[in-house]
Structure 1
Amino acid sequence: MCVAQCTTKLLILVFSSSLGGQGQWHAHTFDQWSGQATSASDGSFIHSHGGLSNRQFVHGCFYWHLHFRNELLVLDVRAMELSAINLPPERGTNSFALVEAAEGMLGILTEGYGEDHDSDPFWLTYSILRNNQWHWNKVIQLPVNDAALVGVAGGYLLLEALYTTTAQETLKFGCFSVAVKTLQVEFFAELSKPFMYARLYAGFPPSLCAPTI
């Protein structure tokens, strides 16, 4: 799959192969792109990352964040159709991760702070999309001073965080996990230094898996 992001047109190019066949490329156009790109008032469309974020995959659909409209661009890989849905209005500019909610619904975990990042707690807000409307579900307070969302894989959200040890009151780098089904928070691992631009992956690629019959 390849995304061609132009000024007046957005194309999703998908290569589909069949067993014994040569495969074929198919192009899918997002009809609303031209009007959205030209109406961007904050100039985000021409920034280095353009108008799209890195993709996320949930319940058989790819999702990109349309920065200039605060919407999600959705590609349903089963129907090969493009659409857009609104993000929660209270999300603001905070980072978020999309997760699989029950009954095939879409969930979103959004990071949040108080007014003072140094002393106020860090939390995640969990909302679920029902009938094209976001419904607040839960606030999850985390035992960290600051955190960045790494990604979702294997049923867990991983966060890279700064946290304070109870005994020594010193700041450390570490990872915390949030179980998508239960929203339970656990300490995952201590880090010697923060990692940047990491991509989360769960399981082994086919080349490393044990051979099967």
Structure 2
Amino acid sequence: MAPSASHLVDELLEEIFLRLPTPAALARASTTSPRFRRIITDRSFLRRFRKLHPPPLLGFADERAGFHPAEAPHSSAPLARALADTADFTYSFVPKPSNDHSWRPCNVRDGRVLLESSRYGTFRELAVCDPLSRRYVLLPPMPEHMSVQEQRPWEFRSILAPIAEEDEDETSFKVICFADYETKLDVFVFSSVTRQWCIAASPSWISLGADRPWGLRVVFGGSRGFSCFDYVRGCFYSASPWKDRLLVLDTRTMEISTVNDRTGYHMQLRWLPGQAEGVSARDNGLGRLRPAQVRSLPAIVVGREGALEMFSLVGDHSPNGSFHLYHTAQDTNSESPKEWQLENIIQLPGQYDYFTLGAAEGFLFLGATSEDQLDIDEDSPVWLSKTDWDVDYFSLDVKTSELAKVCRRRREFFHYEDVYWYFGFPPSLSKPSI
């Protein structure tokens, strides 16, 4: 049976809408007529549009249950303000965890926020929510035969898995948890489809050719445990557990591996100020204390096919010191030894003391405190925890090297920052993610 004229017109309109330059333009088109809105808000159309026009960065959620929208003159400022006015980033719609503790975010992806109980403990209560639609799922406790073992994990880290390209159900999700034991690394996965936990991997540290990582016990030694994961082409990468290698989780096979960080140009890069062998101003004898002076972790970014690309922040945290981003890459297709090569060096604007946050969706994220703020000598009687700082957040477009200020927040002194970037469409075009 031949398609109706109305159906053909809808298909033609879809092709026209796909060519609109931005999500904001698409949102404006959707208000023109009921027919336009029906076509534009269809999940299958939005999926096609998203492949051509990735959702823009709208701001950052923080560990204290708040949202910091992109501010003018950032191009996403109007959409970010609409999100901030509509969504609930206090998570008041999610029932409180047991013992009346509060929730705090520990990961954000695809419009979802992963929450964990603020109660200290190894296996914390978890929930996944959508702040825009105010929907949530309380995750069941991990079965005892998985969580109760001879060893007690040193650290437990939870992240959201990205939506698979072939996954038609955009309301389903997976949570991946890493448990750092004395002799092994366990990877647990929760599926919203089965509503069950499973052990996806359990390699020993010896099988990975590494000693057990230092973890959070020695945060000032230049390692932050499993505190930062970057996602690139189906794999999570973390430069956090060790100084000399990356931890890699392939989400397609759930295999764990490592990548050597000490080859080629990295042999000299890691000795530069702010890198693994000189992690703080105090270690460098500068006697100057500012937020986030512990090691700024390298970030793995989406680059060219067949290469693993990384940005490393170099700077000595001295007054009015200079900061640079070193862009390095490793050819993953070559049969020859895979050595890190220097691609580019980017000088960052002055008058700031920078630190890295992570990378996602083709962007590198940085935080910074301006030089005109309070300087604290390490012998000062001032309690660091009682000082307040204005922190500016920046995004660097990996392809163009364009640096853009996203927003500013005021907060107390901190050793390292936990904020979570939020990408999304305008609220009027956002479907529930749960």
Aligned 8 A contact 1:30 1:83 in 2: no
Distance 1:185 1:55 in 2: 22
CA RMSD of aligned residues (A): 3.2
Q: 1:3 and 1:33, CA in 2 relative to 1: closer, same or farther beyond 3 A? A: farther
In the alignment, is residue 106 of structure 1 matched against residue 308 of structure 2? Answer: yes
Match of 1:122 in 2: 323
In the alignment, is residue 11 of structure 1 matched against residue 229 of structure 2? Answer: no
Return the offset for 1:4.
1.6
Return the offset for 1:107.
1.2
Aligned 8 A contact 1:97 1:151 in 2: yes
**Which AA in structure 1 matches 2:302?**
E
Aligned 8 A contact 2:188 2:197 in 1: no
Task: Count residues in correspondence.
Answer: 197
Q: Which has the higher strand share?
A: 1
**Which AA in structure 2 matches 1:102?**
R
In the alignment, is residue 149 of structure 1 matched against residue 356 of structure 2? Answer: yes
**Which AA in structure 2 matches 1:193?**
R
Q: Which moved more, 1:170-179 or 1:70-79?
A: 170-179
Query: Could you tell me which of 168, 193, 199 is aligned with 1:26?
Result: 199
Aligned 8 A contact 1:160 1:194 in 2: no
Return the offset for 1:122.
1.0
Where does structure 2 lack aligned partners over 5 or more consecutive residues? 1-175, 277-294, 333-337, 374-389
Q: How high is the sequence identity, in percent, across the aligned residues? A: 31
**Which AA in structure 2 matches 1:174?**
D
Deviations 1:144-194 (A, max 9, x none): 321122232342222222346xxxxx55742322101122223333x2525
Q: 1:24 and 1:125, CA in 2 relative to 1: closer, same or farther beyond 3 A? A: same
Distance 1:113 1:22 in 2: 46
Q: 1:197 and 1:46, CA in 2 relative to 1: closer, same or farther beyond 3 A? A: closer
- Once the two structures are superposed, the pairs formed by residues 193-204 of structure 1 within 5 Å of their partners are 193-194=410-411, 196-203=417-424
Instruction: Kindly indicate whether structure 1 or structure 2 has the higher relative contact order, using CA contacts under 8 Å at least 6 residues apart.
Output: 2
**Which AA in structure 1 matches 2:314?**
G
Return the offset for 1:102.
0.8
Match of 2:233 in 1: 59
**Which AA in structure 1 matches 2:321?**
D
For 2:423, what is the secondary structure of its paired residue? coil
TM (norm. structure 1) is: 0.75
Q: 1:36 and 1:73, CA in 2 relative to 1: closer, same or farther beyond 3 A? A: same
Q: Which has the higher helix share?
A: 2
| Poorly superposed stretches of 4+, deviation over 6 Å | none
In the alignment, is residue 178 of structure 1 matched against residue 353 of structure 2? Answer: no
Which of structures 1 and 2 has the bigger CA Rg?
Answer: 2
**Which AA in structure 2 matches 1:74?**
V
Distance 1:146 1:118 in 2: 8
Deviations 1:16-41 (A, max 9, x none): 566xx566623312233477336x7x
Distance 1:24 1:45 in 2: 25
Distance 2:236 2:246 in 1: 10
**Which AA in structure 2 matches 1:2?**
C
**Which AA in structure 2 matches 1:147?**
Y
Aligned 8 A contact 1:159 1:176 in 2: yes
- Once the two structures are superposed, the pairs formed by residues 42-53 of structure 1 within 5 Å of their partners are 44-45=214-215, 47=217, 51-53=225-227
TM (norm. structure 2) is: 0.40
Return the offset for 1:142.
0.6
Q: 1:16 and 1:133, CA in 2 relative to 1: closer, same or farther beyond 3 A? A: farther
Where does structure 1 lack aligned partners over 5 or more consecutive residues? 165-169
Match of 1:75 in 2: 249
Aligned 8 A contact 1:126 1:137 in 2: yes
Aligned 8 A contact 2:229 2:358 in 1: no
Aligned 8 A contact 2:186 2:199 in 1: no
Deviations 1:120-148 (A, max 9, x none): 31111111121432111111101132112
